[in-house]
Structures are given as structure tokens and as C-alpha cells.
Chain A
Amino acid sequence: AQKITQTQPGMFVQEKEAVTLDCTYDTSDPSYGLFWYKQPSSGEMIFLIYQGSYDQQNATEGRYSLNFQKARKSANLVISASQLGDSAMYFCAMREGLRLTGGGNKLTFGTGTQLKVEL
């Protein structure tokens, strides 16, 4: 089974509008972390936002917020006031079995959503 599912291969949004990018996950581990990364056409992966499985509140970072619905196992990214520069590929990722120290804790990525912001 897919651990991370992003069902939207592509999304279009008008400038200044808000957009929600979907992400559902599958894990039996009670301790996990969810990440969103942005990948512009240049290729670098830019960390956007993090949500821990035990966090009581939804994470927010500037124009990015994470709609964390634990019972539904969803972690949708909301981008408010979209800008042309937001056009990029967006990846949802999960890290399971969090430990305080040590190696491992690898990330599993979804297939990504290509976001295009239009005038």
C-alpha cells in the first residue's frame, strides 16, 4: 500500500487565491512526522512545513498552513494568497517511528502535485 498518496497530479489556481493540496498517509506507527516540500523547476527541494503526530495544533508557516486531520490520516497543505512564484511541484512526505537520536528516520515521498499559479 502507498504510504503517502497525493491524488492531484496538477492544480491550477489564480493569483491571490488560496489553494489546498491534498495528502493522505498510511502508517500504523503512533509516532510520525509529516512534511511538505516545494520543488521549483530548478530542482532544489525547499522545506515548507512540518506537522508531528502528537502536535495538538495545525502547523502554520507564513502563507502555508497544514490541515491535519489525524483520524482521516490526511495532511493537506493550504497556500493562502497564491503568488506566481508558488508555481512548482509540491511533495508531501512522512517520517515514521520518530526517535530522539540516531540515524535512520528516512522520508517517504508522495508522487507530488504540480501547482500552476495563473494571472
Chain B
Amino acid sequence: EIVLTQSPATLSLSPGERATLSCRANESVKYYLAWYQQKRGQPPRLLISEASNRATGIPARFSGSGFGTDFTLTISSLEPEDFAVYYCQHRVDWRITFGGGTKVEI
């Protein structure tokens, strides 16, 4: 069973700063990893697919990287609307797993 571990649980930053979020898998998932953003009271929004492909309409300040077991979501310069919870997600053999989430707070 694939387990996705996100760190840190909470990231306290200021607008304009760089955010680096980690997602680690307990075995290789190749590049099959997605990232989502969830704001309070809203459904998640797809940000990144296949580790590094930005979804339609996602600003360029969001970038994803990694392969195998270690993945990173980077927000180059935080905007006020970026303070939210971020989840990574993987699918293998039609078993879908989400990480526990990282909250990016001011």
C-alpha cells in the first residue's frame, strides 16, 4: 500500500515568501503524483498533475518537481490567496491515496 507523508504539517510564512512543501511516498510512484489546494469551505482544486504539469489556469508561481519517492510543491512568492491546505495524491491499480496535507498559514 502506498502511503504519502506530507511535511511540514503547518508552514507559517508571510506574503511574498517562498513556500516549499514536501510529499514523500513509501515506495516509488514514478512521476504519478498530483497536488491540490483547498481553501476553507471550498472543494480542493487541482494544481499539478504528473508531478510537474500545472493544471489549466494555475499561476506560474506554482511549480512541482520530483520523481520516485520525493516530491516538492513550490510557491515562488506567496500571494494572500495562497494561504490554504495543500494535498498530494497518487493512484496505483485503482487505489487512490491522499497525503495528510500541509497547511500554509500567515
> Do the two shown chains form a genuine complex with each other?
no
